[in-house]
Amino acid sequence: MSYNLLKGKKGIIFGALDENSIAWKTAERVHEEGGQFVLTNAPIAMRMGNIKDLAEKTGAEIIPADATNLEDLENLVEKAMEILGGKLDFVLHSIGMSVNVRKGNHYTNQNYDFTTKGWDVSAVSFHKTMQTLYQKDAMNEWGSIMALSYIAAQKVFPDYNDMADNKAYLESIARSFGYFFGKEKNVRVNTISQSPTPTTAGTGVKGFDGFIAYADKMSPLGNATGMDCANYIITLFSDLTKRVTLQNLYNDGGFSNMGVSQQVMEAFVKSQEE
């Protein structure tokens, strides 16, 4: 169902890799709601995914950019404004990566070069993106900038590894930059803390199936899907949420406020009895 919530709005969507990506689902929904956008991803990620199919389906152009590279970001923002014919109304940063996780390094045994790389890709790239948008005055008033987070930024999930630190840093950047973007340009900046979602990035985390099952049993409404997240992002790109800013918004079926659920207790008691 379409409500035309983003009619006439223009933006950039980072990080669509394949049909499982939240960025991919968001792009489809933005298109349905009347918004226009350019798609971008790192050149290496573009070779892995099938972003061209999404571009064709949504009438979007693709501009390759490494989000950790300022020249790439400047080129991206300039070209996006050229293609879309003006300033931007929304930006989705849907990027995260931990080399330590990929290489199987335990949190207590990090390779710090890998740590720095993951931190640059997952968090500092959000600052670099916003700094580029800010300095180029590329956002329209009441525009909306979003990034994707996870509750491991606040609570301990041992296998989430250094991605937990990356997400905590990402959320802090959203608040700090969001202040200046709000005060000086009337632009809002928020993060969504999403349920564990079976995306290509997510499933790289050790024990991910366990994460998903546990969160689902713990949440009164069950896990939020990738499409639930895309729909939430649409509301945050729309004019209906004009004064929501500096927030980390939980889209997690209630997980973040739970101590324990009946289902989890039952499963635990049953395993004790066995």
Q: 107, 150, 179, 232: which one is catalytic?
A: 150
Cβ-contact 28, 230 below 8 angstroms: yes
- Asked whether residue 195 is marked as a ligand-binding residue, the answer is no
Residue of 107, 112, 134, 160 with catalytic role = 160
Of 77, 84, 116, the C-alpha closest to 100 is: 116
21 is in an annotated binding site: yes
- Whether residue 150 lies in the annotated active site: yes
State yes or no: is 112 an active-site residue.
Answer: no
List the one residue out of 206, 151, 145, 152 whose CA is nearest residue 178: 145
- Provide the CB-side half-sphere exposure for 113 (13 A, CA): 1
Rounded to whole angstroms, the Cα distance separating 109 from 22 reads: 31
**Identity of the residue numbered 178:** G
Question: Was 151 annotated as part of a binding site?
Answer: no
83 assigned ligand-binding residue: no
Nearest to 145 by CA among 173, 117, 121, 164: 173
Tell me if 167 is assigned to a ligand binding site: yes
Backbone angles phi, psi at 94, to 5 degrees: -125, 70
C-alpha angle 251-119-89 in degrees, rounded to nearest 5: 50
Q: Which residue has the tokens 């489809």?
A: 28
Separation of alpha carbons 88 and 202, rounded Å: 29
Residue list for the binding site for NAD(+): 15, 21-22, 95, 167
Residue list for the binding site: 15, 21-22, 95, 167
User: Active-site positions?
Assistant: 150, 160
